[in-house]
Structure 1
């Protein structure tokens, strides 16, 4: 009962913070039996929230024991069935970490056919690639297999945040093919346990890398993301976008010294710098920035904005300050980049729901309980409307900027469009020439292809 109530609440929070949560690979998740979810850890407490909300299983996560020192967090973690785990990073002076009780609890839950969640990287981080994996997930799977005498399945998970710290952004949650720890792994464990743990950890890492974007640094990620945008067709799904980014980053190291790649990457960087100078995006250039089309779409967004405003007004004194304070907290009260989103979520949630309770209490005191109950109905509806207003305001602002730039920089934008077409063709030719022979292209393109965009809607939808 408590678990269901908390997961329902976490679902509401996730839907409020993220504009889109796309889930891929649910067919890989068993509906029953012992399962270990092993995911990357780029966004602190939001990572387990997303897996809990999307995997379709009741999951107990292993969590660092320092989180249980907070009374509020301990209440939530206990309600979610989290297992406190001591980590070397939190106990640098300890000769030996005592996690026997934690592993016993996780073995028990797996033995009951339950699911355990674990982040093999250990710490949440904002690096551009996976950190070295700890061996805990492999040891847990092998130990559980030995104790319960039946196969344990490990499901690699990939969390890709389009803008990790941004309110109303998008996230892709992927579940990869299961790694089944069965009799064959038990035999390897019997022969050489250390080698078996190392091999299984490697298998988990390969599964996670297949679902995540990994690059040596963020500059490379940004440059290759520009290449990806120039190469891809318009309006592809988020999972295809992430898969293209993963492929470009995975294969770039093998070809980065090739003169053709060096030349194209230099031109892409110059093109991106010119976009930044004018304050335009590649998407706007690709779509042609047709003035009439921009004006039509801007009018549509403005009408939707005006539709939602009256519904948002009743809760505006609560929701507007909550959003602003959450942004302030994320920017100024956060020690690390990877916890900015978590800080925003916790701050916004506490401010909004505390305000709801205070308003309801005042109304109950002044006008009776019926008024308080009515407030608990109206305020959440107004909160939803506020999210719609926020989203449409950003689109109206973006569209207004696009229209102004279309009028102000007409000749520069036309020149950038020509450069983009040339770059797109050269990138396609380079990809076709240098791709691994056994790689099946996600979007096969002819060598003479140019941008397939038409001068239509320049505002991202």
Structure 2
């Protein structure tokens, strides 16, 4: 159920070679637009290299170097980071520039707006962004009639319109209007979510009115862009979220592709599925894998069906959406719940020998294949037993405060553990001293990013019905805050250094004084970057100290030894289950399995 390291690496290498061998097709944009697009991608690439420890692309050879494309990406984990990461990877590997659909409200934002406008976006008006206070209060009188809304002192016929929406206070939710019966009675097209419904049913409440928004102009802009051979980027789930599974897809991506092809017979538009796979996207120095799937060519009969309009058009859109969803599932790791995802990741670690290094892109593929196998055999008694055993093992790791790869410390003797502990502690002290200057200088940024991102996450969580913890906005705001505060703080330090030099007549040989300012603006980012990298190594060492201390603790010594035996037994069970059931799920299992018998034996010899 997992991809082989060797074969996949060869495939990826060949794919990358193929990309380089192709003629890169830089999209024809006016010089100024192309310049600003490349500039913003270049600037933010530096920022992303600081925020992420590793960014990998997989399947980039799938990106066509010419012709109109619609990139559909999921899951939408970060509103700001996701599109910019895709822009960078797509431009780097294929030379294509992508125009993402962006909310008009975001384009007007004082911080995000200027950067977003540089990326050649296509504006989208959203009804909820145009909400305004309405007269009176609303309530739902009968629980068995969730679509019927009553008003108290309201003016439904004058202030609302069919196709518009009503929005509850504190961003509890909104619902579209299907019919307006009178000034104090209307019918919704779709009801409020459970939490919002209970709020409206509990008594009269103030509300906001949202106008009916036409997307005709937006679709015309999209069609025109595709007819010219351009690229469009879409997140078909709509808003960002932090769920382990994908949200239901919206129809926009299918309409764009089918509509562009239907209005121009020569527009051979293709849809490229993009999987956004993050490891802790809300934390500094996390990892990301962007996977590009096989382009989807639009069936001509489906385009013809869409062009007929009416019910046939809706059927064509539904069929296209189903095709897009299946394609996205091949490039993403989505799971019905968080606990299952944790079990799948633990099973992957148990299947892989501890000393075997696996590329990040292959880790994603292993997770995906294990998840496919689990979903197919989830009711099999062997899999039910394994899930419970692996979950219990995860719980033991959590109770001891260690990670899976640190269980191996249990086989070390007391002198070996003491030696490692002293060596790593000494190394950590040296690294801490080296990172101290940059840490002190950059401390205000860390404090500000943590505080502001946490507050923004809480606000987003209150305003959303799909977010779990609001982690999807944490990474976004950490980057946004750092983008503004880091240069500002460096300027403050540089001006302080210049003033101190002038006030105390330091370095008289360095004149004019602006050279001090310039030098400080060059040196300060280098110091903070060095502190970041040193701190990264130091944090890895710091995390490794706890299991060593645990091994020396007589109260936990037996627990660690038992846990090591438990891991060995579990690894055998997981490997046996995969080897037996894997061929039933994947016809190419033997050809593309990650661990061959020879690899296992070689790993054993090195222990």
Q: TM-score, normalised by structure 1?
A: 0.89
1:83 and 2:83 matched: no
Q: 1:279 to 1:316 in 2, by over 3 A?
A: closer
Structure-to-structure mapping, 1:294-313, within 5 angstroms: 299=423, 306=430, 310=434
Q: Distance in 1 between matches of 2:606 and 2:63?
A: 42
Please give the secondary structure, in 2, of the residue aligned with 1:55.
Answer: helix
Q: Distance in 2 between matches of 1:259 and 1:386?
A: 51
Q: Which residue of 2 aligns with 1:6?
A: 40
Q: Which residue of 1 aligns with 2:82?
A: 47
C-alpha deviation, 1:332, in angstroms = 3.9
Q: 1:258 to 1:321 in 2, by over 3 A?
A: same
Q: Distance in 1 between matches of 2:477 and 2:398?
A: 29
Please give the secondary structure, in 2, of the residue aligned with 1:157.
Answer: strand
Question: How many correspondences in the alignment?
Answer: 453
Deviation digits for residues 119-142 of structure 1, max 9, x if unmatched?
Answer: 000010111111111111111112
C-alpha deviation, 1:72, in angstroms = 2.1
Q: Distance in 2 between matches of 1:301 and 1:194?
A: 64
> Is the radius of gyration larger for structure 1 or structure 2?
2
Q: Distance in 2 between matches of 1:333 and 1:114?
A: 35
Q: Which residue of 2 aligns with 1:331?
A: 454
**Mean Cα deviation higher: 109-118 or 44-53:** 109-118
Q: Distance in 2 between matches of 1:363 and 1:326?
A: 25
1:427 and 2:566 matched: no
**Mean Cα deviation higher: 21-30 or 248-257:** 248-257
Q: Which residue of 1 aligns with 2:530?
A: 385
Task: Choose from 532, 535, 548 the match for 1:403.
Answer: 548
Q: Which residue of 2 aligns with 1:136?
A: 252
* Alignment check: 8 A CA contact 2:428 2:542 kept: no
Q: Distance in 1 between matches of 2:386 and 2:561?
A: 21
C-alpha deviation, 1:204, in angstroms = 1.2
Please give the secondary structure, in 2, of the residue aligned with 1:37.
Answer: strand
Q: Which residue of 2 aligns with 1:196?
A: 316
Q: 1:290 to 1:18 in 2, by over 3 A?
A: farther
Stretches of structure 1 lacking an aligned partner (at least 5 in a row): 457-461
* Alignment check: 8 A CA contact 1:230 1:423 kept: yes
Q: Distance in 2 between matches of 1:314 and 1:376?
A: 15
Q: Distance in 2 between matches of 1:128 and 1:395?
A: 26
Q: Distance in 2 between matches of 1:298 and 1:52?
A: 46
Please give the secondary structure, in 1, of the residue aligned with 2:334.
Answer: coil
Structure-to-structure mapping, 1:338-349, within 5 angstroms: 338-349=472-483
Please give the secondary structure, in 2, of the residue aligned with 1:144.
Answer: helix
Structure-to-structure mapping, 1:70-109, within 5 angstroms: 70-87=109-126, 92-93=165-166, 94=210, 96-109=212-225
Please give the secondary structure, in 1, of the residue aligned with 2:111.
Answer: helix
Q: Which residue of 2 aligns with 1:23?
A: 57
Q: 1:304 to 1:401 in 2, by over 3 A?
A: closer
* Alignment check: 8 A CA contact 1:120 1:137 kept: yes
* Alignment check: 8 A CA contact 2:409 2:548 kept: no
Q: Which residue of 1 aligns with 2:282?
A: 165
Task: Choose from 272, 277, 285 the match for 2:399.
Answer: 277
Task: Choose from 273, 276, 280 the match for 1:156.
Answer: 273
Deviation digits for residues 201-249 of structure 1, max 9, x if unmatched?
Answer: 1111111111111211111111222222212343211122111222222
C-alpha deviation, 1:118, in angstroms = 0.8
Q: Distance in 2 between matches of 1:95 and 1:181?
A: 34
Q: Which residue of 2 aligns with 1:176?
A: 293
C-alpha deviation, 1:358, in angstroms = 2.7
Stretches of structure 2 lacking an aligned partner (at least 5 in a row): 1-34, 131-164, 167-209, 459-469, 503-512
Please give the secondary structure, in 2, of the residue aligned with 1:334.
Answer: helix
Task: Choose from 309, 318, 342 the match for 1:222.
Answer: 342
Please give the secondary structure, in 2, of the residue aligned with 1:71.
Answer: coil
Q: Distance in 2 between matches of 1:304 and 1:416?
A: 28
C-alpha deviation, 1:445, in angstroms = 5.7
1:251 and 2:285 matched: no
Q: Which residue of 2 aligns with 1:459?
A: none
Structural RMSD (CA): 2.9
Please give the secondary structure, in 2, of the residue aligned with 1:354.
Answer: helix
* Alignment check: 8 A CA contact 1:63 1:82 kept: yes
Q: 1:36 to 1:435 in 2, by over 3 A?
A: same
Q: Distance in 1 between matches of 2:327 and 2:426?
A: 44
C-alpha deviation, 1:144, in angstroms = 1.9
C-alpha deviation, 1:308, in angstroms = 8.9
Deviation digits for residues 171-218 of structure 1, max 9, x if unmatched?
Answer: 111111111236454334335332222222111111111111121111
Q: 1:389 to 1:453 in 2, by over 3 A?
A: farther
Q: 1:267 to 1:313 in 2, by over 3 A?
A: closer
Q: 1:144 to 1:295 in 2, by over 3 A?
A: farther
C-alpha deviation, 1:414, in angstroms = 2.3
**Mean Cα deviation higher: 387-396 or 320-329:** 320-329
Runs of 4+ in 1 over 6 A off after TM superposition: 453-456
Q: 1:453 to 1:109 in 2, by over 3 A?
A: farther
Please give the secondary structure, in 2, of the residue aligned with 1:172.
Answer: strand
Task: Choose from 212, 216, 229 the match for 2:332.
Answer: 212
1:261 and 2:383 matched: yes
Please give the secondary structure, in 2, of the residue aligned with 1:161.
Answer: strand
Q: Distance in 1 between matches of 2:384 and 2:118?
A: 53
C-alpha deviation, 1:386, in angstroms = 1.6
Q: 1:299 to 1:176 in 2, by over 3 A?
A: farther
Please give the secondary structure, in 2, of the residue aligned with 1:194.
Answer: helix
Deviation digits for residues 93-128 of structure 1, max 9, x if unmatched?
Answer: 457421222222222322332221110000101111
Q: 1:150 to 1:299 in 2, by over 3 A?
A: farther
Q: Distance in 2 between matches of 1:294 and 1:177?
A: 52
